[in-house]
Structure 1
Amino acid sequence: MTSDAVASAFHDACLAELDALKPGNVHRYAGGHGMEAADFEKSAAAAAPVIGASGLTVGERIEAAVEATRGVVGHNTNLGIVLLAAPLAQAALISSGKDLRPALTEVLRSLTVEDAKRAYRAIRLAEPGGLGSAPEHDVAAEPTTTLLEAMHAARSRDRIAWNYAHDFVDIFDLGLKWCGGGRARWGDVPWVTTYVYLGFLAHIPDTLIERKFGTHMAGEVLDEARPIEAGLSQCHNPKEMAGPLAAFDASLKNRGLNPGTSADLTVATVFASALIAG
């Protein structure tokens, strides 16, 4: 794919996520956690050219995208998105969309220590919430292993790292399935993105909530999301679920709960779908 096409697909995926009513997360219907949709619009516009740029390594792509974001927004809006999007973009630039998955595996296996150093610098610059410290390969220290090895070490506490360690299986085997199912039912509308988001929220404990509030709270949110997801999946007219979704959104935000990892996986799914479609 061309650089412009990859950049456009990334930018569109970020905006599509904002158009979807995502309980607990920032969207066009409601801000939250001290952020508004405009912050994410600026972030998407700043990061997209770097995500799609040719001639960069994955680490360079991650670091430059976070630097560009910090230049327009003073807080972390898209670190998880960038960490997932950078290898997907790299894979798209060296393959056709139909070959995205094997190309991604090749990209992940080729990650270097320098990629890890640049990614660590990006993480420190972004200052994500709930990061804490790690017993090995802590981001506060200079890495001595490849980025993939570092992600393997973090996979039990971070779902983005888990996906690096498992070839983005959440995206390809879950997210894209939900995306296709939603489109078959409702067409290419924002409700499809909401459906993908709820799929992650109802089936995988959100690791941002888990790090900040503990395993029990992450499990509670998952249990609360399941009937909402089931209700949406059974609707012929998804607008019927707007009320329950808005109520769940307010409840999560009132408790300070932001399922940010679920949102990151959602953007990556929409991005991957666009890359595969070409």
Structure 2
Amino acid sequence: MGIPPLTLTEKAQMAMMLEVCAMTKPGNVDRGHDYPDTWLEHFLFSSLFCRTAFERAEKRDGTIGELIRQATLLTGRHRGGNTHFGAFILLIPLIIGKGIEGACECIKETSIEDAILFYDAFAHTAVRVHDSDELDIHDPSVAEKLRERGMTLFDVMAHSAPQDMVAREWTGGFALTRKTADLLKEDGRGREAVSSVFLWLLAEEPDTFIAKKFGYDRSCQVRDQAIQVLAGQISHSDFDEYCIRESINPGSLADIMIAGLFVALIEGWEWDL
């Protein structure tokens, strides 16, 4: 009997683990450093705990909103804060759709109940939101507002897209996910590919997690510094040390990195040498 092929679930878990274990990814948890309350182990636990939700997604057993909620609640058991909420927003439809094309189809079929379940999942995380957002996750009447407006989960992502790059993947055909997967395949195998592509992502767009935490101007400064690293004007290690010192962690781009890794893996990219 030959070695069985990897399942979509296993490839999604691999993508999560490969992202967090690669070094160096400026500002984010990796094999080189932790944050005070969130460690490498928390990300690895999260990658394991979400398996049931991923397996259901692979079998198309459940809706996108339901499965994002399940994955979020399962990974909340590690008590290390939010580790992969944004990644689940991308991975669940990508698993259900078996790639980008299928994901683009299934996200447009989401329902109002999906949106309500998503907001319930959101409320169980420590994800930063804009104070001005009229659909406040802490508002007990948010489910009623979603029903009154007839907002599906896709509509919620469209509502959030101007301020959130993960949501923009839903409305923009997973464009950065597609580019990330293509760059990984061009770059080659191994952890160095993950690190170099992540740096390209940092130089491509301001990270919206940084913008929510420090403001848009700061996120643009971080992007510009990544451009300088690529140009050889500042060192990768100095950039990493700056991000760590200032508690700047580009979490949204890490989520897109995970989605890109998953797409690359299902399209034949191999990490191991």
- Are 1:210 and 1:218, in contact at CA under 8 Å, matched by a contact in 2? yes
C-alpha deviations, 1:42-94, integer Å up to 9, x for none?
010001331232212111110000010012234111111111111111111xx
Residues 125-140 of structure 1 aligned to structure 2 (within 5 Å): 125-128=124-127, 130-140=128-138
Aligned equivalents of 1:46 and 1:3: distance in 2? 21
Q: What is the rounded CA distance, in whole Å, between the counterparts of 2:216 and 2:130 in structure 1?
A: 15
1:113-152 Cα offsets, whole Å, 9 max, x none, are 1111111111110121x31334443333223310000110
Q: 1:72 maps to which residue?
A: 78
Q: Does 1:274 align with 2:270?
A: no
Deviations 1:191-242 (A, max 9, x none): 11112211211111000011111111001000001122345xxxxxxxxxxx
Cα distance 1:248–1:33, how it changes in 2: closer, same or farther (>3 A)? farther
Give the Cα separation in 1 of the matches to 2:237 and 2:48. 27
The yes-or-no answer on 1:41 pairing with 2:39 is no
For residue 249 of structure 2, what is the aligned residue in structure 1? 258
Residue 234 of structure 1 corresponds to none
Could you tell me which residue of structure 2 aligns to residue 181 of structure 1?
186
How far apart, in 2, do the equivalents of 1:265 and 1:157 lie? Answer: 15
Identity value in percent: 25
In the superposition, the TM-score normalised over structure 1's length comes to 0.85
Cα 1:10–1:230 shift into 2, 3 Å: farther
Determine the structure 1 residue equivalent to 2:219.
218
| 1:167 matched residue in structure 2 | 173
Structure with higher helix content:
1
1:207 and 1:230 mapped to 2: Cα distance? Answer: 23
The answer for unaligned runs of 5 or more in structure 2 is: none
Separation in 2 of the partners of 1:208 and 1:135?
A: 15
Paired position in structure 2 for 1:59: 65
Q: How far did 1:252 drift? A: 0.5
Q: Which runs of 4+ in 1 moved over 6 A?
A: none
CA contact 2:112–2:153 (8 Å) conserved in 1: yes
Where 2:229 maps in the other structure, the secondary structure is: helix
Structure 1 residues 34 and 160: alpha-carbon distance in aligned structure 2, compared to 1, 3 A threshold: same
1:63–1:119 contact (8 Å) kept in structure 2: yes
* Greater CA drift, 118-127 or 28-37: 28-37
Figure out how many residues of one structure are paired with residues of the other and give that number. 254
